[in-house]
Chain A
Amino acid sequence: MRHRNAGRTLSRSASHRLALFRNLTRALVEHERITTTVPKAKELRPFVERIITIAKRGVASGDPIKTLHARRLVIARLGPVAKVELLDVKGEPTGKTLLKKIFDDLAIRYADRPGGYTRILKLHKRRLGDAGPTAIIELLKQGEVKAAKRSAAPATTAPTPRPEPKPESAATPPSESPEASASTNSPTGQEAAASEPKSNESQS
């Protein structure tokens, strides 16, 4: 039974997994946006965000001793990759280590953000070898706000599914423009026709 065993093992031993998260963290902080598989992105998120939060707390305290302590806590999580020098877009060294970027950039950037420093976007593209589902995980930019606009409820996950799933009942509130609602009508016919033959399904 896997009762009370949260998290994915990702088919790795504990040390392998830790190394994976450290490597992914370095890549994410270096590039701000990386593409991995959905499960890796989902597991990486708490790992990275906790590190950023520790750094934030250390910097926000204004106390050099507490900042040093936070620095050591982050090093304990990152291990050797903490000292890796990051490269810029062209592959040139930036003269900034992973640890430095976390404390000097990210901790400041996210000073007023109560958690949730990353975003995961699921892609359609499947991996070539194992057809694994892929996703983008990215660090939010300074002052980013929720993308959910007038068309949808403020809930983060809702907006996309909301407008489309029931085009049959044309009175869906979030149809933002006549063009959009008109265009949803043609797919509706297809969708209805497509969903017709699944009268009873016992297997997928």
Chain B
Amino acid sequence: MAVPKRRTSRARQGNRRSHHHVTPPQVQYCPQCNEPVLPHGVCPNCGYYQGREAVPVKTEGK
């Protein structure tokens, strides 16, 4: 069975992990309330989508 010949050095381990980062979500900002909004999504804060279209009711508080 294949088995590592050498212990992985910290540098090598770090180099391998250098790509392991998460990318921030791509967000836009609601033209209505300026909250971050996912593209093509209804604003979770004010319920607006596509300009003047108030779609779901507001969830106040929370």
List residues of A whose CB falls within 8 A of some B CB: 121-125, 136, 147-149, 151-152, 156-157, 159-161, 163-165, 167, 176, 180, 183-184, 187, 191, 194-195, 197-198, 200-204
Q: Are A122 and B41 in contact (CB under 8 A)?
A: yes
Known: A161-B39, A183-B34. A148 touches B28 (CB 8 A): no
Q: Are B41 and A123 in contact (CB under 8 A)?
A: yes
Distance between Cα atoms of A179 and B50 in the complex (Å): 17
Q: Are B40 and A157 in contact (CB under 8 A)?
A: yes
- By beta carbon, the residue of chain B nearest A151 is B51
Count of chain B residues near A, Cβ 8 A:
26
Q: Are B19 and A122 in contact (CB under 8 A)?
A: no
Q: Which residues in chain B, 1-59, are within 8 Å of chain A measured between CB atoms?
A: 19-24, 27-29, 31, 34, 36-42, 44, 49-53, 55-56
The secondary-structure label for the interface of chain A is loop
Collect the chain B residues with CB atoms within 8 Å of residue A157's CB.
40
Q: Are A203 and B51 in contact (CB under 8 A)?
A: no
Q: How far in angstroms is the closest Cβ of chain A from B46?
A: 12
Q: Are A149 and B56 in contact (CB under 8 A)?
A: no
Q: Are B19 and A200 in contact (CB under 8 A)?
A: yes
Known: A203-B20, A204-B23. A124 touches B44 (CB 8 A): yes
Collect the chain B residues with CB atoms within 8 Å of residue A156's CB.
50
**Partner of B50 from A124, A136, A160, A191 at Cβ < 8 Å:** A160
Distance between Cα atoms of A64 and B57 in the complex (Å): 42
- By beta carbon, the residue of chain B nearest A190 is B36
- Interchain residue pairs with CB less than 8 A apart (29): A121-B56, A122-B41, A122-B42, A123-B44, A124-B37, A124-B38, A124-B42, A124-B44, A147-B50, A148-B50, A149-B51, A151-B31, A151-B51, A156-B50, A159-B50, A160-B50, A160-B51, A163-B31, A164-B28, A164-B31, A183-B29, A187-B34, A197-B21, A198-B23, A200-B19, A201-B23, A203-B19, A204-B22, A204-B23
Closest 5 CB pairs of A and B: A164-B28, A124-B44, A147-B53, A147-B50, A194-B24
Distance between Cα atoms of A157 and B20 in the complex (Å): 33
Distance between Cα atoms of A188 and B55 in the complex (Å): 26
Known: A147-B53, A176-B31, A187-B29. A160 touches B21 (CB 8 A): no
Q: Are B28 and A122 in contact (CB under 8 A)?
A: no
Collect the chain B residues with CB atoms within 8 Å of residue A148's CB.
50-51
